[in-house]
Amino acid sequence: MTESPRYPLTMIVDDNELDSFVLKNILSANGFTSEAVLMPDGRSALDYLKVNISEKLPRVIFLDIMMPGMDGFEFLEHFEKLPQEVRDKCRIILISTSESFKDLNRANKNRFVYRFLNKPITEAMLNAISI
């Protein structure tokens, strides 16, 4: 008998395809999620969230900070304008290779950021997440 995943649906927003692929596999292998929606940028992720309001909203969004076009912090500004149902359901975990205190402080000040994690994401990091 296999355990059901902790979160049926997650979203990974990262312009780096390899990072997204690796994180998706770690999430699946550790029973964190059964399905991960991969988005190459913040704009695509926002479009998905707007269309899937009552259908397939991810419980957890892993959001890369540094992306071209729309970075993670710009995504958060737009996320704030989404319907209450989306904001209530989705928990955002910022991910980055940056260890900048400026980014960490900025993340900690945003009410939609549940956690800030440095890449690469490990099993221990996932085990510490309880939403």
pLDDT in tens, 47-104: 999 998 767 899 999 999 999 989 999 999 999 999 999 999 999 999 988 777 787 7
Give the sheet arrangement for strand 113-118, strand by strand.
33-39, 7-13, 60-64, 91-96, 113-118
Residue-number span of the structural domain to which 94 is assigned: 7-127
Q: Measure the CA–CA gap between 108 and 123, rounded to whole angstroms.
A: 23
Q: Is residue 59 part of a domain?
A: yes
Please provide the average confidence, as pLDDT, over all residues in the chain. Answer: 91
Q: What is the CATH number of the domain that holds 83?
A: 3.40.50.2300
| Contact (Cβ atoms closer than 8 angstroms) between residue 5 and residue 129 | no
pLDDT in tens, 49-63: 999 876 789 999 999
Q: Is residue 108 part of a domain?
A: yes
Q: Is residue 109 part of a domain?
A: yes
In the chain, the largest separation of any two C-alpha atoms, in whole Å, equals: 45
pLDDT in tens, 11-24: 999 999 999 999 99
Paired tokens of 5:
């995943």
pLDDT in tens, 109-128: 999 999 999 999 999 999 98
Tally of structural domains, the chain: 1
